Amino acid sequence: MSPRSVLRDERWALEPDRELDAEPTTYAMQCVMDGETSPVSQDFADPQRWVLNHCGKHPSHHTYREVISRPWRAWRRV
């Protein structure tokens, strides 16, 4: 006997995970100039405050990147 493959066309969906047991969305900011990163927080105001403090200490550091960790889930459509 030779091996056989069974192929099925399945549809999948992808969406943010909003279930009660989902991981929280977290935020951080990273200075592009020196790579320093704020503490990770579930409240975006905390990384924003970090940026303002970092700018105060390093007046030439004007560019930052936002780092977001958001849980997603994939599920098979019926």
**21-73 residue pLDDT tens:** 999 999 999 999 999 999 999 999 999 999 999 999 999 999 999 999 999 99
> Does 71 fall in a domain?
yes
Q: Is residue 5 part of a domain?
A: no
64 within a domain of the structure (yes/no): yes
Closest CA to 28 of 7, 11, 49: 49
Residue 30 placed within a domain: yes
Number of structural domains the chain divides into: 1
Integer Cα distance of 74 and 78 in angstroms = 13
Domain assignment present for residue 2? The answer is: no
Q: What is the reported pTM?
A: 0.77
Residue 9 lies in a domain: no
Query: Residue 57 is part of which domain span?
Result: 21-76
